[in-house]
Amino acid sequence: MTFRVIASLAAWALFPVLATAQTTRCEVFPPGGYVGVYADSLAQDSTVVLAPRPGFWLGTLHILAILNGAVADGITAAEFRVHLPLAPAGMFITTTVDPSANLSIGQPITIGMDDGGLRVAFPQCKHGEPAAGGKVVVPIARVDIFSLVEFDTPVLVQKLAPPDFRAPCPNFRKCDPPSFTPAPMLSRGIDEVGEEYVFRGRLFCLTGQVGATRTAWGAIKQLYR
């Protein structure tokens, strides 16, 4: 197990050497794949709906790596953030990173003007599993969301904030030890403030009641027990 952790850390430890020898720009490396956020583990629905309960809303995001291009054969690591620009700051979030990962730094979700993001690595190459529409996916994390406020927000997968100067883009690490070559995720567009994203979905609360009740606060306590 110690060897596996060292191997995963090497995916980041060796990258500064690669970047110095070539360039600090992501464009030097062939791109491939992206991280998507879905309502299900098979990457079928990019619109996630939080269901109403008495005084709150509840739902789950599935964060999945979609493999193609330069990472069609698999990945050993990923670096990104899932940004919710219009979500309320008081939302309660519980993140469970895929248990096969042996290194996890940070949290995937950022809200509004918050910084952050997730670095995750695996002890062995993850070749992915078949999913909807011919996709090949690697589970990254599951995020359970509990909100006392009704909202509707885009879901954007983007680079870390602030970005890593060595790779200022959302990226994977390929299955090519000892190099663990970076593979930038494929850009899909530009958001309202001019930042690139590799995935755009939607998260919203199904119309229902609003307000914190005893039932709602009791559910929050249960979530964190």
pLDDT, tens digit, 9 for 90 and up, residues 65-106: 999 999 999 999 999 999 999 999 879 999 999 999 999 999
For the chain, give every domain's residue range.
Answer: 2-223
Q: pLDDT per residue over 127-186, tens digit each?
A: 999 999 999 999 999 999 999 999 999 999 999 999 887 789 999 999 999 989 999 999
Other beta carbons less than 10 A from residue 201's beta carbon? 19
Domain spanning 2-223: which CATH class is it, in words?
Answer: mainly beta
- Per-residue model confidence (pLDDT) at position 208: 64
pLDDT at 218 > cutoff 80: no
Task: Please tell me which residue, 199 or 8, carries the higher pLDDT value.
Answer: 199
- Per-residue model confidence (pLDDT) at position 26: 87
Burial of 207 (0-12, 13-18, 19+ CB in 10 A): exposed
- Per-residue model confidence (pLDDT) at position 164: 81
pLDDT at 1 > cutoff 60: no
Query: For 21-33, what is the mean pLDDT?
Result: 74
Query: For 51-71, what is the mean pLDDT?
Result: 96
Q: Count CA atoms closer than 13 A to 165's CA, side-chain side.
A: 3
Burial of 218 (0-12, 13-18, 19+ CB in 10 A): exposed
- Per-residue model confidence (pLDDT) at position 223: 46
User: 209 falls in which pLDDT band (50, 70, 90)?
Assistant: low
Other beta carbons less than 10 A from residue 89's beta carbon? 9
